[in-house]
Structure 1
Amino acid sequence: MVRPAGSGRAGGETTKQRGPREGAATRPASRGARAERLAPYVLVAPAVLIIVLLRLWPLVLGVNFSFTGDGELNGTPVGLSNYLELAADPLFHTSLRNVGLLVLLLPVAVAIPGLLATFIYLRVPGHRVYRSVYFFPAVLSPVIVGAIFNLMLGFDGPLNAALGAIGVGPVDWLGDPGISMFTVVGVHVWATFGMALVVFLAGFSTLDTSLLDAARVDGASLRQVIWHVIIPSLTRTIQFVFVTTMIGMLTSMFGLLFVMTSGGPEGSTYLPEYYIWHQQGQMNRPALASAASTVLFVVMLVVGLLQITLLRRTGRQD
């Protein structure tokens, strides 16, 4: 009976000796788990800091500055005076109407690179050459693009000469208020759709080829393949291209507008971006320009959220 008792005490002592070792072993494990949980935040922190310092903080300062005055009232709070002035400015109304025109033309600006990317993905004859040619305009400066199309679209330019050869009268592409905005938007789409084309091609790399093979076996036409297979599979890519294309139209057309029309004729090609530059650089009214910038930011935010919401609903219905 003594041996079992002794052996039991020895076992108890052994158990007590193992306890501290196990506790010491769990400490590094808990530290490692804590470090693992903190690692994503540490990696994201520099990017968040850059966004806050270079994006959000200047945005807050700009919004605050939009409630101050210009000229003699520089730095003096004026409440909503700048926004009320924008609401009464016909030129700003024109720029907002042109934003509505851009929204209406946006599906066309997205469909063009989408269809071209589809043809390249399906390996139509010469698809390698087309890929290089289509992307080439994206590397050109807007100033160069504007200068080239000023020559081509001039009243006595080669395009009107070609139209005259087939019996069509000359068109004032850049001087007619009714068509000048369409002309500039068309040039912008031509100059920038190469980037959207690359995004679509990247999206095609994630496409399940077995779906295309099954559609072909079932005898689906090209239109049916695009509508029922490709578009539902690239919903997220299409959402991204829609939003980035809209942002580009609202914030990256200044160079073309400045070179091709300078906001004319009769202010018909004004966009909020060009209006902001005019108020800041020509009229020396930075507070009013800040108010217009704030309105532009809100417009971009609302349009972007509406686009994402509509595209998500469409994707769910499909």
Structure 2
Amino acid sequence: MSGRAAAGGTKERSRHGAARRRGRSERFAPYVLIAPAVLIIVALRLYPLALGVNFSFTGDGDANGTAVGFANYLELLDDPLFQTALGNVGLLVLLLPVAVAIPGLLATFIFLKVPGHRFFRSVYFFPAVLSPVIVGAIFNLMLAFDGPLNEFLGVIGLGPVDWLGDPGVAKFAVVGVQIWATFGMALVVFLAGFATLDASLLDAARVDGASLRQSIWHVIIPSLSQTIQFVFVTTMIGMLTSMFGLLYVMTSGGPEGSTYLPEYYIWIQQGQMNRPALASAASTVLFLIMLVVGLLQISVLRRAGRED
């Protein structure tokens, strides 16, 4: 009897040991699976970012490689072109809700199957496949002082507008073109979000007599809060880091530097002025701006979602 009891105790201990080993394996399995992605991010993103930040504290020209502390950042603050670039970043942040609302509303209409919704889906996405250089060249022709848009304004009795030559107008013209050229991808993301929307909620809202505006505000927006957060952040990143081609073709930062953005400023300092350390400092500032604005947007949207 004692032998059988001892054998039973040994088997029980071995089962407990195997269960503990399986538990440890299950706990470590997620870390093993994400390890390759983490290594790639560290090697290709975080490490170069750290090198760039470190390089921003060194000098250019004769002081190349010499530590200069915050001298590059102080020079950025005194540079009128960089101040203009930062001001334009503020303009982009203010216009960001518009850049998100347009594809959101269009996706809503497509989801509600307005007449011709299949045709509109392809038409709205078409600009997203065009190169920024092509988009810039097209709108350079359309927005020229003697272009078709001003001709149309003349026909209806409005004076011509110097769309790309007036500093107060050019920045809005370029941002408007950027929104038109890129909202197709946001539209696709919104349509993917609508695929997860519970249609019974909209049916219940219709039964209760809710208008389209009320359905959007009280049903669609709360249900798509995660999608909206994603589109906000990705649209902001695109507007701050993907407008170089459009700026270069349409205005080259002009007139009078009014359409400068940090991305274009960085290219000028690195590629034309041969000041890589100053360009690294500007890149670090741009990264911090994107990080802070992105976190603030997510915080505000989450708070709004909880209130709803």
The TM-score normalised by the length of structure 2 is 0.98
For 1:280, the equivalent position in structure 2 comes to 270
Residue 33 of structure 1 aligns to a residue in which SS? helix
TM-superposed CA distance for 1:31, in Å, is 2.4
SS in 2 for 1:179: helix
C-alpha separation in 2, matches of 1:52 and 1:258? 31
- The yes-or-no answer on 1:68 pairing with 2:58 is yes
Which of 116, 119, 123 in structure 1 is aligned with 2:113? 123
Q: CA deviation at 1:234?
A: 1.0
Q: What amino acid maps onto 1:34 in structure 2?
A: R
Give 1:29 deviation, angstroms: 3.0
Match of 2:284 among 270, 294, 302: 294
Give the match for residue 300 of structure 2.
310
- Alignment of structure 1 residues 119-268 onto 2, 5 Å: 119-268=109-258
Once residues 8 and 225 of structure 2 are traced to their aligned partners in structure 1, the CA distance between those partners, rounded to angstroms, is 58
Deviations 1:59-107 (A, max 9, x none): 1100100000000000000111101100110110000000010011111
Q: After superposition, give the CA deviation of every residue in 1:10-33 in whole Å (9 maximum; x if it has no partner).
A: 3x3321222223333343333222
Instruction: Deviation per CA, 1:124-160: give whole Å up to 9, x if none.
Output: 0111111111111111110111011111111111111
Instruction: Give CA deviations for 1:209-265 in whole Å, capped at 9, x if unaligned.
Output: 111011000111111111111111111111111111111110000000000000000
1:171, distance to aligned residue in structure 2 (A) = 1.1
Identical aligned pairs, as a percentage?
80
**Partner AA of 2:271 in structure 1:** G
Residue correspondence of structure 1 range 7-156 to structure 2 within 5 A: 10=1, 12-156=2-146
Counterpart Cα distance in 1 of 2:156 and 2:27:
71
Partner of 2:259: 269
Amino acid at match of 2:65: G
Counterpart amino acid of 2:235?
A: T
Partners of 2:210 and 2:11 in 1: how far apart? Answer: 68
Q: Distance in 1 between matches of 2:172 and 2:143?
A: 13
Greater Rg by CA: 1
CA distance in 2, matches of 1:225, 1:199: 20
Which residue identity lines up with residue 30 of structure 1 in the other structure? Answer: R
Deviation at 1:54, TM superposition (A): 0.7
Distance 1:190 1:291 in 2: 31
- Within 2, Cα distance between the matches of 1:222 and 1:317? 21
CA distance in 1, matches of 2:11, 2:233: 57
Q: Which amino acid aligns with 1:264?
A: G
Shift of 1:289: 0.3
Structure 1-normalised TM-score? 0.95
Q: CA deviation at 1:34?
A: 1.9
Displacement of 1:284 = 0.4
Whole-Å separation in 2 of the counterparts to 1:204 and 1:121: 7
Q: How many residues align?
A: 308
**Alpha-carbon RMSD:** 1.0
Report the residue type matching 2:121 in the other structure: R
Could you tell me how far apart the structure 1 residues matched to 2:252 and 2:270 are?
15
Give, as a single letter, the amino acid of the residue that structure 1 aligns with 2:111: Y
Partners of 2:15 and 2:285 in 1: CA distance: 59
AA partner of residue 167 (structure 2): P
